[in-house]
Amino acid sequence: MKRLTYIACCLMAMAFATGCKEDELADLNKGDTPLALTLSEQTLILNETNRDKTILSMNWTSGSNYGTNAAITYELQIAQAGTGFTDPLTYFPGKTVYNYTFTTKALNNAIRGHFNTQAGTGITLEARVIATVAADNVDPQVSPVVSFSVTTYEPVSETLFLYGTATSAGWDNSQAIAMTPAEVPGTFTWQGQLSSGGFKFLTVAGQDFPSYVKGNSQNSIVLRTSASQTDNPWTISDPGIYKIEVNLLALSVLITKMEGPAYSQIFMVGSAAPNGWDISNATELVQNPDNLYEFTYTGVMNPGEFKFPVNRNSDWQQDMYMKLDETHMYLHHGGDPDDSKWEIAKKGYYTITLNLQDLTISINRLKLYMVGSATPIGWDISNSIEMEEDATDGCIFKYSGPMIAGEFKFPVNRNSDWGQDMYMRLDDTHMYLHHGGDPDDNKWTLTEDGNYAITANVEALTINIQKL
């Protein structure tokens, strides 16, 4: 019996040793291949229009592990020519990896950031690979140096904001309105209401420079970096809905007046709505100032029916938006006999959005998540804990399980940029809805590890925290 136990222990020790060495013995015999580096291009002139495309591929041979069967770790170095690699850019691709690629943007940022190059000016660089064998008494291998040249560019802003008296922001640069980046690099769009007045563009909200102002024509823009430069805004004389498209690479802008929606107010009525069938007190939806065709309601809905009148006439003889299917609607004209309504099956906190332009509707019930140093997942918001929705009341969310001393709060989705609504601490038993982008960041704090039962009610804005 002792002999069997001894053999078993030896086998376990061998297995452990094998596991520890597994990554170091993964390469087996690499032969006598000399370490060599090749580049897909020797001369590169970078252009931001291709910033997301692969522009350079660096490939190397395996090198030799000299019959040790030990793994080889690779280090890629890029240095300014003639510096003897005293201050290189360094990358560690890992084991069994024999290439490294750069997009135009990544290479431009790396070279400009590390070597402080001027846009439009070429720099000569040198590259090499160092291979280190995971075995004793084996010197690192260094590939022959390969030279190449790169001409960088000055990147345009990846954000753009609209402000001026023609907009809701006025000339308050801190209230400048974010434009939407388009798929093409350096391009932005915005659609919304413009009043009589002027406007121009900022690259950073709250900062006057760099900015873009009107050039020699209505469709040209000029970069402005100081107060000494000419400051010409665009002028709107005919108020209405406009679409603005900006191309910072082409230094162009297209301003198009759009046809507006048929209605400026939309209401909700029905047994599912907050005010029931009282049409004279029907719930008004909020019109999106950046897209006047879009109307939204966010709040509690009850089990029942609903539809959308365009005013609060008590005789019901009016136009209404009614259900075509779950995601589409049609305009019901006053006096028509049809009466097609949407239904809510479960009470909850909903966001309902109508688009009068494409006649679509989205109906989404709130989900609630928990994130923070007190939770089992920490601050990993993309993996935040989904709270359990109450079986009958979709406004109540629960969590029961382990927590540790630390902080927590409740995001409404798993957006990794943190730019989203969240429920935050008002006091120990109450919460409030923090809107994405607001500077406040009030969290609950636990002082003891343990199992907890946490209940959040987004209708009553209450929270109950119990240590089990």
Give residue limits of the domains in the chain.
Answer: 37-151, 161-258, 267-365, 369-467
- The model's pLDDT over 456-465, given as tens digits with 9 standing for 90+, comes to 999 999 999 9
- Say what the pLDDT of residue 7 is: 40
- Say what the pLDDT of residue 17 is: 42
Our CA dihedral for 342, 345, 349, 350, rounded to 10 degrees, sits at -30
Q: What is the domain class of 267-365 according to CATH?
A: mainly beta
Backbone angles phi, psi at 18, to 5 degrees: -65, -40
pTM value?
Answer: 0.52
Of the CATH numbers 1.10.287.10, 2.60.40.10, 3.30.300.210, 2.60.40.3620, which one belongs to the domain with range 161-258?
2.60.40.3620
Whether residue 56 contacts residue 44, with contact meaning beta carbons closer than 8 Å, is answered with yes
- Say what the pLDDT of residue 188 is: 95
Of 412, 359, 357, 360, nearest to 381 by C-alpha is 412
Distance CA 75, CA 98 (A): 10
- CATH code linked to domain 37-151: 2.60.40.10
Do 267-365 and 369-467 come out as alike in CATH topology? yes
Distance CA 313, CA 331 (A): 17
| Mean pLDDT of the 194-223 span | 95
| Mean pLDDT of the 404-430 span | 92
Task: Answer yes or no: CATH 3.30.2270.10 is held by domain 369-467.
Answer: no
For residue 11, pLDDT over 90 is answered with no
Question: CB neighbours of 172 closer than 8 A, spacing ≥ 6?
Answer: 163
CA–centroid distance for 269 within its chain: 35
- The model's pLDDT over 12-51, given as tens digits with 9 standing for 90+, comes to 444 444 444 444 444 577 778 899 999 999 999 999 988 8
Question: CB neighbours of 26 closer than 8 A, spacing ≥ 6?
Answer: 71, 95, 96
- Say what the pLDDT of residue 27 is: 57
